[in-house]
């Protein structure tokens, strides 16, 4: 079995960010390889940049020797290049892409009737700007021309030819531009291109309904997505999917009844850096649920709900609480306990003999090496992602205790909170983790280097 995840547009990239964290924590159902790809004409999108950083860190972690009997880093990933795939090219308009104005007068007239002058003349560097009709036309024309898709379909065909089964999951919004255009278009094109392997391939998708809003500023003359159009766009999209039940083998609907205001509006590009949202976590969990389904399972539509109107808790999430919480402890223990010691040792402010765990596991490791520095960066980024999930306008989110975070989200406000970080009392205190690190242990000979230390720390964080 092989897993494929395709993010489409800015919202899809946010889902990919959550999925990356869940994969690193070991929440995918099996130890299968995960192929990651993305479609976004706005290649400089700030949300996508943050996701790319997490993915690149994940790729580095695959080099750590942590053993095969742990969920930590258990799934290997392959990023399908180019990443992301830009279907519209650089500085291109719809006129440039379709060139109908060079064809017969009748075709040109139809084209001009379907698209306004502004839609035809706006450059697409910052996405399809809430106009899925633009995106559908561009994607349909260029899908088979993209080297990324040649690579992707070739890999899928190779897997199937070797007797493997393949699960492909698409994520995007139905209320904007790129996602609304890409979800049905890409699903249909994949089905058509891989029709010879239909019995070996399952395609799923998460259709993300409105969950945020924004107030535009200084863009009066620009083409962009508008919050007031989200609900009518969604209604039209859902009607479309209801009439085309063969697009997906499993369809997930995730949204929110309250639209969270975006703190800073941007049409696109690097300025578009929206904070993580609980809806994106739900969508990533939908991907995990799909990957766990048998390839021959009947078609299904799933709607994700919660128990209480104004509260999100572990009771609302279809996932392994224990695995996620152990991983969260592992991240906080690394940042709060280990990082300061490593910094002091490197600067000469401390001596190694005071830390038996360092002598036993890290004595021959270069703790200033890029992979070690990357892990430290990732641990702090994970904590920041958690803090953003816990911050939801006017409602309570209690997965990891919000009281845990200072302004620097990776630094604990109170050491005592570590033992109750998920709201339940645990014997795993910071002191207990430190004590466990000094106890004798034994791994097989394949667990070595910095990976050996990370594995040990992770195990010490088990309840």
Residue 29 has pLDDT above 50, yes or no: yes
Predicted TM-score (pTM) above 0.85: yes
pLDDT at 89: 65
Res. 131: pLDDT tops 90: no
Q: Which of 93-97, 125-129, 220-224, 444-448 has the lowest mean pLDDT?
A: 220-224
pLDDT tens, residue by residue, 72-81: 999 999 998 8
- Residue 269: the pLDDT is 45
* pLDDT value, residue 402: 82
Residue 225 in this model has a pLDDT that exceeds 60: no
What is the tens place of the pLDDT at every residue in 301-319? 888 778 888 889 898 888 7
DSSP 121-157: HS--TT--TT-HHHHHHHHHHHGGG-HHHHHHHHHHH
Nearest to 251 by CA among 289, 307, 220, 277: 289
Range among 13-22, 88-97, 146-155, 171-180 with highest mean pLDDT value: 13-22
Residue 224, pLDDT above cutoff 50: no
**Predicted pLDDT at 120:** 72
The predicted pLDDT at position 412 comes to 84
For residue 166, the cross-strand partners are 2, 201
User: CB-side exposure of 61: number of CA atoms within 13 Å?
Assistant: 30
Which segment of 73-82, 139-148, 172-181 scores lowest on mean pLDDT?
139-148
pLDDT above 70 as % of the chain: 82
For residue 27, is pLDDT > 90? yes
* Residue 215 vs residue 325, higher pLDDT: 325
What pLDDT is recorded for position 343? Answer: 94
State the pLDDT at residue 155.
85
Considering only residues 307 and 455, tell me which one the structure prediction assigns the higher pLDDT.
Answer: 455
| Whether residue 367 has pLDDT greater than 80 | yes
Distance CA 275, CA 416 (A): 28
Question: What's the pLDDT score for residue 340?
Answer: 93
Structure tokens at 462: 């088990």
Q: Where are the alpha helices (DSSP H) in 293-429?
A: 321-333, 339-347, 356-361, 370-389
DSSP class of residue 16?
H
Cα 132 to chain centroid, rounded: 22
Quote the DSSP letter at residue 249. Answer: S
* Residue 265 pLDDT greater than 60, yes or no: no
Residue with the two structure tokens 């004595």: 363
All structural domains of the chain, each given as residue ranges with its CATH number in brackets, are 2-89+124-305 (3.40.50.1440), 321-460 (no CATH)
- Rounded mean pLDDT, 362-389: 92
Mean of the per-residue pLDDT values of the chain:
84
Measure the CA–CA gap between 414 and 305, rounded to whole angstroms: 33
Give the count of beta carbons closer than 10 Å to the beta carbon of residue 327. 22
Q: Would the pLDDT of 385 be above 50?
A: yes
pLDDT of residue 153: 82
Match 């083998």 to its residue by tokens: 249
Q: What is the pLDDT of residues 317-331, one digit of tens each?
A: 887 799 999 999 999
pLDDT digits (tens, 9 = 90+) for 333-353: 999 999 999 999 999 999 999
pLDDT digits (tens, 9 = 90+) for 387-436: 998 878 778 888 998 888 877 888 888 888 899 999 899 999 999 999 99
State the pLDDT at residue 268.
Answer: 46
Extract the tokens encoding 386: 């958690």
pLDDT confidence of 223, banded at 50, 70, 90? very low
pLDDT at 401: 87
Annotate 63-122 with DSSP letters as a single string: TS---SSSSTT-S-EEEPSSSSB-TT-SS--HHHHH-GGGS-HHHHHHHHHHS-HHHHHS
Q: Which residue has the higher pLDDT, 49 or 119?
A: 49
Structure tokens at 336: 């709060």
CB 230 within 8 A of CB 190: no
Output the six-digit token pair for 4.
């494929």
Residue 357 reports pLDDT greater than 60: yes
- Per-residue pLDDT, averaged over 118-124, amounts to 68
């Amino acid at each position: 079995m092989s897993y494929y995840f395709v993010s489409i547009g800015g919202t899809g990239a946010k889902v990919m960010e959550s999925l990356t964290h869940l994969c690193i924590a070991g929440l995918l159902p099996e130890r299968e390889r995960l192929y990651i790809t993305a479609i976004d004409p706005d290649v400089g999108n700030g949300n996508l940049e943050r996701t790319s950083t997490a993915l690149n860190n994940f790729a580095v972690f695959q080099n750590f020797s942590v053993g095969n009997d742990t969920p930590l880093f258990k799934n290997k990933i392959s990023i399908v290049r180019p990443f992301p795939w830009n279907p519209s090219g650089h500085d291109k308009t719809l006129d440039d892409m379709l060139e109908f104005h060079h064809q017969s007068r009748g075709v040109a007239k139809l084209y001009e009737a379907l698209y306004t002058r502004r839609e035809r003349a706006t450059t697409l560097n910052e996405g399809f700007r809430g106009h899925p009709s633009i995106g559908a036309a561009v994607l349909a024309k260029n899908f088979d021309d993209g080297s990324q898709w040649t690579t992707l379909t070739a890999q899928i065909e190779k897997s199937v030819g070797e007797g493997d089964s393949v699960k492909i999951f698409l994520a995007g919004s139905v209320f904007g531009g790129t996602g609304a255009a890409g979800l049905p278009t890409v699903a249909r094109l994949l089905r058509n291109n891989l029709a010879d392997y239909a019995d070996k391939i399952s395609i799923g998708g998460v259709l993300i309904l409105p969950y945020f809003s924004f107030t535009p500023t200084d863009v009066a003359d620009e083409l962009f997505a508008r919050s007031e159009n989200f609900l009518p766009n969604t209604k039209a999209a859902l009607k479309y999917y209801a009439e085309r039940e063969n697009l997906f083998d499993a369809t997930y609907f995730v949204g929110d009844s309250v639209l969270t205001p975006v703190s800073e509006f941007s049409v696109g590009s690097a300025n578009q850096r929206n904070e993580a949202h609980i809806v994106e976590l739900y969508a990533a969990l939908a991907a995990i649920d799909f990957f766990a389904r048998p390839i021959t399972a009947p078609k299904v539509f799933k709607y994700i709900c919660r128990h209480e109107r104004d509260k999100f808790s572990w009771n609302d999430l279809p996932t392994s609480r224990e695995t996620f919480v152990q991983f969260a402890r592992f991240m906080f223990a690394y940042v709060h306990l280990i990082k300061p010691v490593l910094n002091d040792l490197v600067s000469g402010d401390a001596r190694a003999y005071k830390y038996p765990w360092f002598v036993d596991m890290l004595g021959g490791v270069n703790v200033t090496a890029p992979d070690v520095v990357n892990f430290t960066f990732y641990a702090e980024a994970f904590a920041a992602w958690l803090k953003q999930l816990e911050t939801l306008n006017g409602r309570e989110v209690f997965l990891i205790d919000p009281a845990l975070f200072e302004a620097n989200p990776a630094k604990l406000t109170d050491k005592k909170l570590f033992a109750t970080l998920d709201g339940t009392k645990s014997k795993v205190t910071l002191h207990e983790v430190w004590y466990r690190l000094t106890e004798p242990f034994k791994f097989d000979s394949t667990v070595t280097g910095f990976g050996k230390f990370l594995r040990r720390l992770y195990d010490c964080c088990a309840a």
